[in-house]
Amino acid sequence: MDLKKLQKLARAYALKNAIAYNGKAQTGSVISSLFHEGLKPEEVKKNIKEINKIISEVNSLSLEEQEEEFGTLKKGVSERKGREGLAELPDVKKGKVIMRFAPSPSGPFHVGHALTACLSFLYVEKYKGKFYVRIEDTNPENIYKPAYKMIEQESKWLFKNKAKIVIQSDRMKNYYKCAEKLIKKNAAYVCSCSSEKFKKFSDFKEDCPCRNNDLKENLYRWKKMLKDAEEGEFVLRFKSFNGMKDQNPAMRDFPLARINLTKHPRQGKKYHVWPLMNLSVTADDIEMKITHIIRGKDHLDNAKRQKMIYEALGEKKKIPWTGFLGRIKFTDLELSSTKIREAIEKGKFKGWDDEKLPTIASLKKRGYKPEAFYKFAERVGISENDKVMNKEEFYILLNSFNKIT
């Protein structure tokens, strides 16, 4: 947006907002209106001084002066009706929307989680649907035990007690049942090749010998796998539709379940066969009747794999609509749970809610409201474009959204 247009619109919206609120316009409301006129989030930082200057000029006028000036500028501002921003979701049948947000318990929520999750949550609210927070903990090696509790607490706060919390490792039977169904439909096989050997087959686009085993052999191996197999002895693989010749190596008979003897922080030694995400995610999405998914575009291949599993199970009609989100890359905000954890352990931060951290625990403590994240998520919307933002820009935006609410 060019400066002239911005100045004119900012003045008009500042007057409009001031008149509505006893002569005092708020930065957050004015910025929100400017977004509707085409101002981009990345343009806020360079224009914030100018916008604030205009707002203080307007706020120094008397209400009569504001009304008089607004009378001449009125034509230039659009009247907004009803709820703003959120585009309709496609494929909404009879208003039924069931969505999920699926964090792994490697750490508590940070701003990246909140923005993705809140967008799904807003849609569920809009259509009066159902929202799950599904903790995906079927990799025993990627779990930070305190994260379960933190994710639960933060979900309660962020989604106002409206999210149903589900933990995958409590639902293992569902995954085993799904795996067996795939084997019986000749859509999966138990492979005994080592990972190096399988990689060679994949590189040469050749079938591994296990791919042609009959049902009896597969069921025998699956039972053995569940009973007493050793780590690495077997892997359950999906029989990809294009086989081992698929142009995309990621699609070639990808794994569905593996043996991992690591003690699980929640389940202990109860299980040693763990589903990989494409199996557990599909089994749960089917069982929970998920209708729509909003996920990062780094999950494009997984979405394709999961679609194939739906089809192999004869559930093609239930494949959810999927919207992909671009990444918000924060240039100077550390979001890696592992790195934050290390820094906390070294005493660099007081804890997960340290005021210097971009975690939800910290932002909550600093007085941010869930609505600030809703507004932020709504503004970003379902867009595949990547965005680059620095800490300062992020907080200018979040602060302005926090004020509107």
Nearer to Zn ion, 210 or 325 (CB): 210
Q: Is 327 in contact with 297 (CB distance < 8 Å)?
A: yes
Contacting residue, 193, 288, 303, 382, with Zn ion by CB under 5 A: 193
Nearer to Zn ion, 243 or 296 (CB): 243
- Check residue 262 and report its DSSP letter: S
Q: Rounded to the nearest whole angstrom, what is the least distance from the CB of residue 132 to Zn ion in the complex? A: 35
Dist. CA 201–CA 133, nearest whole Å: 38
Q: Which amino acid would we find at residue 100? A: R
Q: Is 56 in contact with 26 (CB distance < 8 Å)?
A: no
Contacting residue, 58, 191, 244, 380, with Zn ion by CB under 5 A: 191
Per CB under 5 A, does 235 bind Zn ion? no
Nearer to Zn ion, 1 or 193 (CB): 193
* Alpha helix segments (H runs only) across 37-192: 44-59, 63-73, 111-126, 146-158, 172-184
Per CB under 5 A, does 244 bind Zn ion? no
Q: How many CB atoms lie within 10 A of CB 95?
A: 9
User: In this structure, what token pair is assigned to residue 25?
Assistant: 């316009």
Per CB under 5 A, does 208 bind Zn ion? yes
Of 336, 325, 327, the C-alpha closest to 381 is 325
Of 48-56, 138-146, 186-194, 286-294, the segment contacting Zn ion by CB under 5 A is 186-194
Q: What are phi and psi of 94, to 5 degrees?
A: 50, 40
Give the three-state DSSP class for 294: strand
Of 105-113, 142-150, 185-193, 253-261, the segment contacting Zn ion by CB under 5 A is 185-193
Of 100-108, 113-121, 205-213, 350-358, the segment contacting Zn ion by CB under 5 A is 205-213
Q: Rounded to the nearest whole angstrom, what is the least distance from the CB of residue 235 to Zn ion in the complex? A: 8
Nearer to Zn ion, 193 or 219 (CB): 193
Nearer to Zn ion, 193 or 335 (CB): 193
Within 80-145, strands assigned E span 98-101, 130-135
Q: Is 360 in contact with 303 (CB distance < 8 Å)?
A: no
Q: Rounded to the nearest whole angstrom, what is the least distance from the CB of residue 192 to Zn ion in the complex? A: 6
Q: Rounded to the nearest whole angstrom, what is the least distance from the CB of residue 179 to Zn ion in the complex? A: 16
Contacting residue, 30, 133, 167, 210, with Zn ion by CB under 5 A: 210
Do you know the residue count of the chain? Answer: 405
Dist. CA 231–CA 237, nearest whole Å: 15
Nearer to Zn ion, 15 or 210 (CB): 210
Of 19-27, 190-198, 289-297, 330-338, the segment contacting Zn ion by CB under 5 A is 190-198
Write out the residues near Zn ion by the rule CB under 5 A: 191, 193, 208, 210
